[in-house]
Amino acid sequence: MTAMNGMGRFQIAERMQRFVAKQRLSLLLVVFVSLSGFSLWLLLNSPEGRRWLAMWQARREEALNQRQFQDALAKDPPLGFPLKETGIAVNPERSLPILVVVLGRCEGCQERVALEWASTLSQWVTLRKAMKGVLVVQVGMGMQKASC
């Protein structure tokens, strides 16, 4: 009987080895997916994982802001750009330099900054004698111009 049990165990072990050899790829794939799912669960539910995700999101937003800034700089007109193309009236007899201040969208600071620039360009007599100022403010999707 013990010889029979030894033989039976040997056959079972041999069958197991053949089964595992045939299913090795599937077994490895199941283990990989299980460990990946567990790692993702840990990443989302642990404080360290949340910190990593927050750092990754901050870096992604910083890279996106940097790219948007570079795109905006690439679209800026070069120095010496003819202002007649923008619709700003230039008096050829008065050869004062022109300061163009362009304000884009800024949440919470648009009105304050625009008012400060408008008061600076209109109230400083010395500045007005030395140069002409143009304030361009982006409102929604359009642009508004004010000349001082």
**Amino acid present at 43:** L
Mean pLDDT, rounded, for 116-135: 78
- pTM > 0.85: no
Mean pLDDT, rounded, for 45-49: 90
Q: What sign has the CA pseudo-torsion 59, 60, 62, 66?
A: positive
Q: What value does the mean pLDDT of the chain take?
A: 76
Q: Are 123 and 116 in contact (CB under 8 A)?
A: no
Residue 47 has pLDDT above 80, yes or no: yes
Taking the C-alpha atoms of residue 144 and residue 141, their distance in angstroms, rounded to an integer, is: 10
The pLDDT value recorded for residue 138 is 66
Q: Among residues 53, 27, 30, 58, which one has the least CA distance to residue 40?
A: 53
**Amino acid present at 124:** W
For every residue of 77-131, DSSP letters joined together read: PPTT--GGGGT----SS----EEEEEE---TTTHHHHHHHHHHHHHH-HHHHHH-
* Structure tokens, 110: 């648009």
Kind plus residue range of the DSSP H or E element containing 121: helix 110-123
Residue 141 has pLDDT above 80, yes or no: no
